[in-house]
Amino acid sequence: MDEDAISFGRPPDPLDGVTLRDLFDASYRKLVVQLYGVTGSFDEAEDLVQEAFVRAAASGRRFLRVDNPEAWLRTTAVNAHRSRWRKLRNGRRAQELVLPPRDPAGLEDHLEIVAAMRSLPEAQRHVIALHYLADLPVEQIAVELGVPSGTVKSRLSRGREALAGQLAHMKGGVDHA
């Protein structure tokens, strides 16, 4: 059994004509050079062409029936490159929009709060984060978590109490509750 039968999971069909292996042998280097021109990176070009061949293998016989398999592979590789580029660009934009400016002076207090929150049970930590960090009202938290609003209020109350005690302990103070 040849490589094509393994990659497609079926025995080779002599009526299919050109096999994926034949196409790989004839086109791989050409496609890598073409994609190198598009991406400017040899490693990325190789990765994109390999990804295109994987997609071709996954599509099975449909791929073997396209009019111009090499053009299909090239288009698939270029589209994969565009998709990667878009994801990277959008990721950078999201970081710029979402991340607040750093505040080294206030960072120490935030670290203590985060450490104290880690000591809380997950249910309390979740409602405290939603209420105080996401500014959600009790009713909306109840809907999102699928619990009664009384449960949210109880978790908030217990969580605040535990958090205050934890912060007092971390600062070396005494809890006078």
Give the HSE-up count for residue 88: Cα atoms under 13 Å, Cβ half-sphere: 6
The predicted-structure confidence for 2-14, as pLDDT tens digits, reads as follows: 444 434 444 445 4
Residue from 152, 157, 130, 124 nearest 139 by CA: 152
Phi and psi torsions of 134, nearest 5°: -100, -5
First CA to last CA distance, the chain: 77
- Collapsing DSSP to helix, strand or coil, 85 comes out as helix
The predicted-structure confidence for 107-155, as pLDDT tens digits, reads as follows: 555 677 777 888 888 889 888 888 887 788 999 999 988 999 999 999 9
Residue 104, pLDDT > 60, answer: no
Q: What is the pLDDT of residue 31?
A: 94
Measured CA to CA, the distance from residue 136 to residue 127 in angstroms comes to 9
